[in-house]
């Protein structure tokens, strides 16, 4: 089981290297973007623990709404990547999100800092932004970012920005 988890961590790290170097653009240089603000209902959450916490995987799913109306589903995983337990700043987790929307899928990956142990429903320390790495259907070749903000009722605001 540990070998599988190490393989997953290694594959995730290699995929981040493959995505290429990051760059910073001024507001004037940034391309136009489409924005979707979706509300993710509190997730159904299943944890697959690992010895000593490192490598613990959580799988979750939830319904999405846009302007109060159903707008697809959300599935995701987190993988605890912190090798030093007990950090007062929180736990770092690799996050993989799939938004299954009426006109295709949007896929995003990145890390987030969580205040709660992975055995509990996630509580982000602060809003966290991860990269959109692709999509299907109308979102084929999508790139951009997703910012997740946990709300007091356990739902999440998912702000999706797709570059044109």
H, E, C per residue of 18-81: HCCCCCCCCCCCCCCEEEEEEEECCCEEEEECCCCCCCCEEEEEEEEEECCEEEEEEEEEEEEC
pLDDT score for 5: 46
pLDDT score for 109: 98
What residue has token string 């939830």? 62
Q: Work out the pLDDT band at 161, boundaries 50, 70, 90.
A: very high
Average confidence (pLDDT) over 128-135: 96
Separation between Cα atoms, residue 115 and residue 122, nearest integer Å: 8
pLDDT in tens, 49-107: 888 778 889 999 999 999 999 999 999 999 988 777 667 777 788 999 999 999 999 99
19 contact partners, CB below 8 Å, separation of at least 6: 131, 133
Separation between Cα atoms, residue 124 and residue 158, nearest integer Å: 13
Average confidence (pLDDT) over 137-155: 93
Question: Are 132 and 162 spatial neighbours (Cβ–Cβ below 8 Å)?
Answer: yes
How far is CA 44 from its chain centroid? 15
Instruction: Write down all domains in the chain, each with its CATH number in brackets.
Output: 31-163 (2.40.480.10)
pTM for the predicted model, two decimal places? 0.77
């Amino acid at each position: 089981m540990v070998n599988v988890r190490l393989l997953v961590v290694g594959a995730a790290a290699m995929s981040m290297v493959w995505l290429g170097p990051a760059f910073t653009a001024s507001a004037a240089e940034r391309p136009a973007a489409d924005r979707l603000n979706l509300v993710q209902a509190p997730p159904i959450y299943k944890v697959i623990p690992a010895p000593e916490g490192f490598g613990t995987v959580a799988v979750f799913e939830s319904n999405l709404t846009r302007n109060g109306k159903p707008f697809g589903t959300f599935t995701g995983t987190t993988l605890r990547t912190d090798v030093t337990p007990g950090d007062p700043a929180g736990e770092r987790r690799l996050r993989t999100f799939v938004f299954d929307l009426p006109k295709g899928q949007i896929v995003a990956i990145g890390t987030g800092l969580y205040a709660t142990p992975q055995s509990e429903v996630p509580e982000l320390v602060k809003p966290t932004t991860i990269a959109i790495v692709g999509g299907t259907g109308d979102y084929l070749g999508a790139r951009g970012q997703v910012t997740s903000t946990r709300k007091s009722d356990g739902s999440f605001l998912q702000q999706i920005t797709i570059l044109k």
